[in-house]
Amino acid sequence: MSESSIFPAPLSFAARATVDSSRLRQMKDDALHHSEQFWLEQAGRIEWASFPTIASSSSFEGEVPINWFADGRLNASVACLDRHLAERGEQVALIWQGQDEGQVERLTYRALHERVCRMANVLRGLGVGRGDRVAIHLPMVVEGVVAMLACARMGAVHVVLFGGFSAEGLADRLVNSGAVVVLTADEGRRGGKRIPLKPTMDEALDRATGHAVRHVLVLAVTGIETSMQAGRDLALAPLLAAASPECAPAVMEAEAPLFVLYTSGSTGKPKGMVHTTGGYMVWAAYTHALVFDHRPGDVFWCTADISWITGHTYVVYGPLANGGTVVLFEGLPSHPAPGQWWQVIDTHKVTTFYTAPTAIRALMREGDDVVARHSLSSLRLLGSVGEPISADAWLWFHEAVGRGRCPVVDTWWQTETGGILIAPVPAAVPQKPGSATLPLPGVDCVLLDEKGRVVAGEGEGCLCIARSWPGQARTIWGDHARFRQTYFSFHEGYYFSGDGARRDADGYYWITGRIDDVINVSGHRIGTAEVEDVIATDHRFAECAAVGVPHDLKGQGLVVFVVPRGGPDGGLAQEAAQVISRGIGRYAAPERVYIVPDLPKTRSGKIVRRLLRKIACNELDALGDLSTLADATIVERLIMDVARQG
C-alpha cells in the first residue's frame, strides 16, 4: 500500500457528520490557544454535581502532579445513567446478546439504572465504602457492566480482572489492589468451552497471602454447582432481589479514583493504572463523540472484553455518558459457525463497530463469501484498536465489511491514556490505511529520538506526549515512583508511550510498535520480563529469555528460550509452557519453547534478545554484529538447537 492512497469520508457520511474539517480546525486552535476555556467547555459534555471552575494545573516534571477539573464534583454513574432518565429513560441503553441466538436482553436506561442501584446497595450492605476496591471477575454478562457502574455509584474503586488470568495472576492483583469484595461467576462460556471462574478465584484467594477480601459474591451464569465457603461466599442473585432499587449516589471529587486497571510493562509486576473520575469521564465522552461521530439512534458495538481498557471506555463509560445504545456480546466471532459477528450486526442494527486487528485478520481468513451473505446495511462507521492494522486488513475491513461506505477509524491509545489519542475524526480527516492519522484536538504528540531530541517534520522516533490531557492515568496504584520512572524519565517533561512511530509529510502518524520489552499477542499486552519472572521462580530452570515474533493471526507470538538447571531433558519445553500459563494465564501460552544450553549475552551480561528474535524467525542472514557477545560460539549452537527442536 503506497502512502498516497487516501480515503476521504464518503459524501453520504460527511454530509451528516457533526464535526467537519473547519470545526476540527477551530477545535485544535482553541485547544492550543485557549486551553482552559476549551477543556471547561468539553467538561460540559458530562453531568456534574458541581461544575469545575479550573481545567488543569498539571506538570510532567518533578513529582508529576496531574489533575483536571479539580474543584468539580460528580458521580460517574449519574453521568452515565441518571442524567438520561428524563429525556431517554425508555431508550435501550444496553443490548446483551448471549452466545445462543435466543438469549437477548434489552435494558432501557431506567432498567439499567435500577439494576445498578440494587447492586450498589448490595455492596453497601457488605460494608463497602468510598475508596474501597472491589474486584470484578466476570464474563461478558450484564452484571459486569452493572457492577462497574455500581462501584462508581457508591464511590468504590473497581478493579476488573480478566477471566483468562491464572490463579497466580489473580492473586497478585488482589493483594496489590487490596480489594475487599470480589464479584465472580460460577463459570464463563466461550464457544463450546466452559471457563471455571469461581474455582480459579478460590485458588487465587488461597494463594494470595495478605489479601483483604472479606466476601466473594457469586453470580450463577451456567448454574453449575460451586463450592461456597461459609461466611465468605454469597450467592449474588438473592441479594440483588432483596436490595432496594434506589440508591443515592456518592458525590465524588473529580480526582477521586474511579478504577484501577492492571496492564503489563517492561518490568516484572503488572501495574495498576489509576484513573480518576472527572477527567476520565470527560475524555471518554469527548473521544467517543468525536471519533465515532456519535449521534442519537446509534447502536455502538465495541467487541472488547470489559476487563480491557477498551471495554471500560468504549463499552461502558463513553457511549453511556453520551446516551448511546451499546451491544454487549458474550460469544466468539465464529461460534457456532463463521459469520456469527455479522449476524449480531444485522440482528441488532449496529451502526458503529469497533474491534481489533487480530479479529479482523481471523475474519478475513474465513473468506469473503461469509461476510457477503450478510446485509450489514446498518453500519456507518468502523473502528480498529489494539495493534497496528496492516493496509490489507484495513482495506478488507473497509471493502468487505464497510462496503466502501463506512470510514475506518484506526485508533491509537493505551491503558495509560484512558481513551483515544490519535485517530481520524472521520468526516474531517481522510484516512490512510495503516495510519492512525492525526492527534485529536488537545493532544500534543511529539517524536523524540533516542537522545531525547525532538524530531521535526517527517521522521521517526519514540512517541511521546508533551502536555497533559484529561483522560490520562494519574499514577500506578501504590507506586508513584514507578509511575514517574516508567513514563516520565525517558525525557523530562514528556510522557513516554513505549511505542515507536513515524510521521509522514502530511503529519500523519504510523505506529511501528513497542520499543520496550512488551509484546502484543492478539491485543494482550505481555511483558517479556513478566514471562521471564515466572520461569525464574521455578527451580528447574536456570535462566530464560522471552521474545516476540511476527504471527499471522495474533500479530505477535511469544517464543521462549529456556536454560534448564539440570541439563536437557525431554518434556521440559512443555513444562516451561505450563509454568507460563499457570503463572500468567492461558493467553500468555508461548508459540514455541526452546530448551537451550545457554543464552547469548554481552560482556556485561545482558541477554541479546535481538539475536534470539532473529534466530526464532529464522532470519539467519541478518544476525548483525556479534562482536559484543561474550561468547560468539553460542550462536551456532543455538541455531542448531532451534532447528532440531523445530
Residues that bind ligand 6R9 (CB under 6 A): 263, 309-310, 385-388, 410-415, 436, 497-499, 511, 514, 520, 525
Q: Is the Cβ of residue 353 or residue 413 nearer to ligand 6R9 in the bound state? A: 413
Question: DSSP 3-state helix, strand, coil percentages of the chain (rounded to 5)?
Answer: 35, 25, 40
Q: Is the Cβ of residue 92 or residue 356 nearer to ligand 6R9 in the bound state? A: 356
Contact 353, 376 (CB under 8 A): no
Contacts with 468 (C-beta within 8 Å, 6 or more apart), sequence order: 56, 58, 59, 60, 66, 68, 495
CB of 391 to ligand 6R9, least distance (A): 13
- How far CA 323 is from CA of 94, 152, 383, in Å, comes to 11, 17, 19
What is d(CA 181, CA 123) in angstroms, rounded to the nearest whole number? 8
* Cell numbers linked to 533: 519472572
CB of 309 to ligand 6R9, least distance (A): 5
CB of 104 to ligand 6R9, least distance (A): 28
DSSP state of 513: E
Sign of CA dihedral 175, 178, 180, 184: negative
CB of 463 to ligand 6R9, least distance (A): 8
What is d(CA 415, CA 420) in angstroms, rounded to the nearest whole number? 10
Q: Is the Cβ of residue 434 or residue 442 nearer to ligand 6R9 in the bound state? A: 434
What is d(CA 590, CA 599) in angstroms, rounded to the nearest whole number? 18
Q: Is the Cβ of residue 279 or residue 418 nearer to ligand 6R9 in the bound state? A: 418
Q: Work out the end-to-end distance of the chain between its first and last CA atoms, rounded to an integer number of angstroms.
A: 33
Task: Give 206-234 as a DSSP string.
Answer: HH-TT----EEEEE-SS-------TTTEE
CB of 388 to ligand 6R9, least distance (A): 4
CB of 464 to ligand 6R9, least distance (A): 12
* Cell numbers linked to 121: 446497595
Report the candidate in 438, 470, 342 with the shortest Cα–Cα distance to residue 397: 342
Residue nearest to ligand 6R9 (CB): 415
Q: Is the Cβ of residue 38 or residue 496 nearer to ligand 6R9 in the bound state? A: 496
Q: Is the Cβ of residue 215 or residue 514 nearer to ligand 6R9 in the bound state? A: 514
Sign of CA dihedral 577, 579, 583, 586: positive
In the chain, the largest separation of any two C-alpha atoms, in whole Å, equals 74
Provide Rg for the chain, Cα atoms: 24
Q: Is the Cβ of residue 62 or residue 550 nearer to ligand 6R9 in the bound state? A: 550
Contact 271, 485 (CB under 8 A): no
DSSP state of 68: B
Contacts with 336 (C-beta within 8 Å, 6 or more apart), sequence order: 191
CB of 511 to ligand 6R9, least distance (A): 4
Amino acid found at 448: L
CB of 414 to ligand 6R9, least distance (A): 4
Q: Is the Cβ of residue 109 or residue 317 nearer to ligand 6R9 in the bound state? A: 317
CB of 112 to ligand 6R9, least distance (A): 25
Q: Is the Cβ of residue 247 or residue 381 nearer to ligand 6R9 in the bound state? A: 381
Q: Return the residue matching grid coordinates 493483594.
A: 175
CB of 521 to ligand 6R9, least distance (A): 11
DSSP state of 505: T
Amino acid found at 424: P
Q: Is the Cβ of residue 361 or residue 525 nearer to ligand 6R9 in the bound state? A: 525
